[in-house]
Copies of this chain bind each other. A is one copy, B any other.
Amino acid sequence: MERAFGLERLIFFSDAVFAIAITLLAIELRVPEIVETANDAIASQTLWLAIAAEWPRLLAFALSFYIIGAFWIAHHRYFRYIKSYDEGLIRLNLVWLFFVVLLSFTTAILGEYGNLQIAIVLYALNLICAGLAGEALWYHATHARRLVDAALDGRFIRRLQARTLTMLLASLIVIGLTFFIDDYASFGWLLIFVFQGLVERHYRRAGMFK
């Protein structure tokens, strides 16, 4: 009883951090300042162009919204099977949240300087750290069935791992891409969608997830 409640608090605290991190992303979307003219039609067009020029920030916002959402879904899935907790779980969870929170910073850098290699690499490294922390938590919980049901299927455990691994893989590919194509390397993030789609499809085929 007491155990369950402690675990619940851990989960709600995490939910709150994920929710705030995902919502704060919008703060980086800045209202452009335009020189207002007497003619509203011209001013309206000027504003449109100014907002359209924000597309790198909007893309970075959408990408990070997707990624934090995906991390939250992973967290959600892990904790459906985690039945108890220990110090290690609390710590690894905080490490994971640390890198999720840091994403708001690297997202802002990516939105501002998405054409520069360092911005893409930092974002990718942040993603990799967050992904590894998530994997470490899942490993800690499932190794020797420490914090999960002893009967939990081993294939199942590996499949939940696979999903986060797609993010790590896509990040490594994107980092590689930045050495060849500067301005378009960011499109490599689309691989996450492709990879996750493939994993999803695999799950569905195997009939292990609805």
Contact = CB atoms under 8 A, between A and B. Distances in A.
Interface of A: 2, 5-6, 9-13, 15-27, 29, 31, 34, 40-41, 43-45, 47-48, 51, 62, 65, 69, 72-73, 76, 79-80, 86-87, 90, 94, 97-98, 101-102, 104-105, 108-109, 112-113, 115-119, 122, 182-183, 200, 209-210
What copy number does this chain have within its complex?
4
Contacts of A97: 22
B18 A13 contact: yes
Contact of A115 (B13, B31, B40, B48): B40
B80 A209 contact: no
B44 A117 contact: yes
Nearest to A98: B65
A65 B112 CA distance: 25
Given A6-B76, A9-B76, A23-B101, A200 B87 contact: yes
A118 B87 contact: no
Contacts of A44: 116-119
13 contacts: A13-B19, A16-B20, A17-B19, A21-B23, A26-B104, A26-B105, A34-B113, A40-B116, A47-B109, A65-B101, A73-B90, A87-B200, A87-B209
Given A24-B27, A34-B113, A51-B122, 4 more contacts: A13-B72, A20-B24, A25-B101, A43-B116
A137 to B, nearest CB: 15
